[in-house]
Amino acid sequence: MRPRSASERGFAVGVSGPFDLSLSLRAASRFTGGVAPDKLRIVARVGVRPVILEVSQKRKDPPLLWAASPSGAGREVRSIAAYVLQTDLDLSPFYEVALRDRRLGPVVRELWGLRPLRPASLFEMLITAITEQQISMRVAEVMRHRLTSRFGGAVDGAPVFPDAGSLKDATQDSLVGCGLSRRKAEYVRGISKMVSSGELDLEALKRLPDDEAFRVLTGVRGVGPWTADYVLVRGMGRLDRVPVEDLGIGRAVGKYLGEGLRVEDPGEVLPLLRPFAPYRGLAAYYLLVHERRGAVPGAATRGRRQP
């Protein structure tokens, strides 16, 4: 029998601060209506090559993750694992702030180690945000599955999210056939062309300050304030950004921080989250996850209005 290579055996992934992978996967599944897996398994691109990445947790205190690439990329995917898992995010400073609050403190204690997980690329995050505008996340997940099946393909049975080059030449009808509205199909094609041509440089975007990145994003057709802030907080790890027009966030923030009242005015969201700056977006995520524990997975609708 051939001995396993180092890449097949895998490698350790260091994590800053508390982390519970199983909890984080269960929380993510609450937004899409899927079944939470026992380990993270995604397909990412190393250059143009799609590779499988699998991550499991060997120890929680201190956290130790173990990553492997069955497709043989080995250590090439280390940076992708770090990006998806936000391994450089130390939750401890946020916890210090949150535990001082009588309302958020108990939520944090119950969700200790919860970390928001990111899509494998900022392009995937941007297209994900477009698909989630004004519809349930469960329906958006079906759309992305169809997009992936038609334009991305698979590696060893694992779906590969399409890249910008695959989507820029897609016809309007083919995208509509995946479940997108005609307007969203236009947005997806336009963004894919901008990324493919370099007009929208996503790597450069990562280096911009929050407000400047927000300005660039909202200058893209199809990207309004909700979409831009969603991309910033989830895709770029800017944890003080809050998609204030999100109906689910308004409901959760009102329930926990607004005396149980649903917050209808987006302008009221940030003042209620002010005590948790510079982690207002992370605080909102914890409230959303905690509020959804008894909810039907995938029932919420993202966003308040079209861009």
List the catalytic residues: 246
Q: Half-sphere exposure (CA, 13 Å, Cβ side) for 278? A: 4
Helices (H), 198-279: 202-206, 210-218, 225-230, 247-257, 269-273
Question: For residues 113 and 262, what is the distance between their CA atoms, to the nearest angstrom?
Answer: 27
Q: Which residues of 226-236 are buried (b: 16+ CB within 10 A; e: fewer)?
A: bbbbbbbbbbb
Residues in the chain: 307
Give me the phi and psi of 162, to 5 degrees please: -65, 150
Residue burial 142-172, b: 16+ Cβ < 10 Å; e: rest: bbbeebbebbbeeeeebbbbbbbebbbebee
Q: Residue for token digits 């994003």?
A: 217
How many angstroms separate the CA atoms of 188 and 304, rounded?
20
| Residue spans of alpha helices (H) in 120-159 | 122-131, 137-151
Cα–Cα distance for residue pair 38/44, rounded to 1 Å: 19
- CA pseudo-torsion sign 52, 187, 137, 243: positive
Query: In 10 A of CB 197, how many CB atoms?
Result: 11
Least Cα distance to 147 among 129, 125, 134, 163 occurs for 163
Q: Which residues contact 148 (CB under 8 A, 6 or more apart)?
A: 159, 160, 161, 162
Cα separation of 79 and 85, whole Å?
Answer: 10
